[in-house]
Structures are given as C-alpha cells and as structure tokens.
Amino acid sequence: MSPVRRLDSMTWPEADAIAPRALLVVPVGSTEQHGPHLPFTVDTEIARALAEALAGGRPDTVLAPSVAYGSSGEHAAFPGTLSVGQEAVEGLLVELVRSADAFAGTVLVSGHGGNAAPLARAVALLRREGRRVLGWSPSGSPTDSHAGRTETSVMLALRPAAVRTDRAEPGDARPLAEILPVLRASGVRAVSANGVLGDPARACAEEGRAILAAWTADLLAAVERWSVSG
C-alpha cells in the first residue's frame, strides 16, 4: 500500500507536477434508497472505498472527490432518492473526463448499476475522441442486486454504525432479468415494497471485507491490463 494522493488535499502546482504521469481515479455513486436498513449513500461509499483501495495500491494515481448523484429514476418512489437521470450522468462524465486532460488517463469507479448504461456511452465517446479512460464496476449476483446480502455485508465492513440491522428484511430475490421489465416500466417499488432486491439476512462484516478484497483485486487487475494496453 502506498499513501493515497488526494485532490482534496492538493494545490494546483502539486497536481501540475504529477498529472502527466498520473491516473485520475473518480468514484461514481448515487444517492438512492437502499431499503429500510441502509443509508442513501451506499453506492457512493462503496465506489469511494474501492477507488481508495486502487489509489492505495498504485502510486501513479490521484483520488478525486466523488460524484455523489447518479441515475436512480427506478427508485424515485422512495422519498430521499435524489437522481439526475441518465442523460445528465452521461454528460457529466464526458465533461469531467475531458476536463482531466492534464492527467495521463482517468479511471471511473462506479458503485451503482443504474449508471452502467450512461457510463458505457460516455466511455465509448471519450475513447472515440482519443482519450485514455476506463470505466469499471464491481460484479454482483443477479439475485442480490440491491440492498441485499452483498451491499449490507460491505456496509457492515465499511461503516457498521450506518446499518440498522434490526430493520433488515428480505425483498424481491428473483433474478434481476426476470423482474427487469416491470422494474423499468414501473420502478423498484412495483416489485419490492421495501426497496430491497435480495435478502440481507445473513450479511456480516467478515463477508463484506472478503467481497471488498475480491473487488479490489479485480479493479487493480483491470487497471493494470488497461494501463499497459497502450
């Protein structure tokens, strides 16, 4: 592990001195409901933790402040969800990466599945423009896609005080592909009244730490492959 270089603690001359040889790492999250037991910031906190781990594993990186809002229209029926929509996410990521041209490249670490499509479109456009950019998202189970065992375990590892264990209850645990048509047409609340897709019952911090370690290894490997690919 190397000390993490953070844009929130740097000045522009310091950035200027290292940017041409450094990758900018940007956590991309959301502010959306995560059931009756998890906070709105889960996706942003997970993206941030993984981006930190990447920055800690590679001395040629600079960690940027997180993008805390995403595309969460399918969660709009749950109060407190704040979404800017797919078009805005795509535009934001395109402009953000264009503005990072001083760096040798940009890694977008996404913690929110709802951002996947606009993230992919933004990365495709930026690459056509000749920019060095990688979009990465953690893998997940289709029967545990939202506020279930995986995300609850990871939050128990990252910030246990934010988990209302006594309020955890199962949601709709059918495979995502099966419920996606209803979910797209009518939102998450139409398939899961409590906002959970999965079952948090057996979540624990130890499993969360193992999941984070596996995701971090995947992310480091993906960045390594990409950074040597020319």
Residue nearest to Zn ion (CB): 43
Residue 43 interacting with Zn ion (CB under 5 A)? yes
Q: Quick one: 4 or 199, whose CB is closer to Zn ion?
A: 199
- Report the b/e string of 172-199 with b at 16+ CB within 10 A: bbeebeebeeebeeebbbebbebbbbbb
Q: Quick one: 58 or 146, whose CB is closer to Zn ion?
A: 146
Q: What sign does the CA torsion over 78, 88, 29, 10 have?
A: negative
Q: Quick one: 41 or 61, whose CB is closer to Zn ion?
A: 41
Residue type, position 133, single letter:
V
Stretch in the footprint of Zn ion (CB under 5 A) among 16-24, 39-47, 81-89, 135-143 = 39-47
Stretch in the footprint of Zn ion (CB under 5 A) among 42-50, 59-67, 126-134, 203-211 = 42-50
Rounded to an integer, what distance in angstroms lies between the CA atom of residue 55 and that of residue 46?
14
Q: Quick one: 42 or 108, whose CB is closer to Zn ion?
A: 42
Number of residues that bind Zn ion (CB under 5 A): 2
Residue 119, C-beta contacts closer than 8 angstroms, at least 6 positions apart: 28, 89, 90, 93, 108, 110, 135, 137
* Min separation Cβ 123 and Zn ion, Å: 20
* Min separation Cβ 26 and Zn ion, Å: 18
Pull the structure tokens for residue 103.
Answer: 């760096």
* Min separation Cβ 53 and Zn ion, Å: 18
Residue 144 interacting with Zn ion (CB under 5 A)? no
Residue 45 interacting with Zn ion (CB under 5 A)? no
* Min separation Cβ 188 and Zn ion, Å: 11
* Min separation Cβ 12 and Zn ion, Å: 34
- Report the b/e string of 74-112 with b at 16+ CB within 10 A: bbeebeebebbebeebbebbbebbeebeebbbbbbbbbb
Stretch in the footprint of Zn ion (CB under 5 A) among 12-20, 37-45, 86-94, 128-136 = 37-45
Pull the structure tokens for residue 194.
Answer: 């409590």
* Min separation Cβ 134 and Zn ion, Å: 21
Point out which residues bind Zn ion (CB under 5 A): 42-43
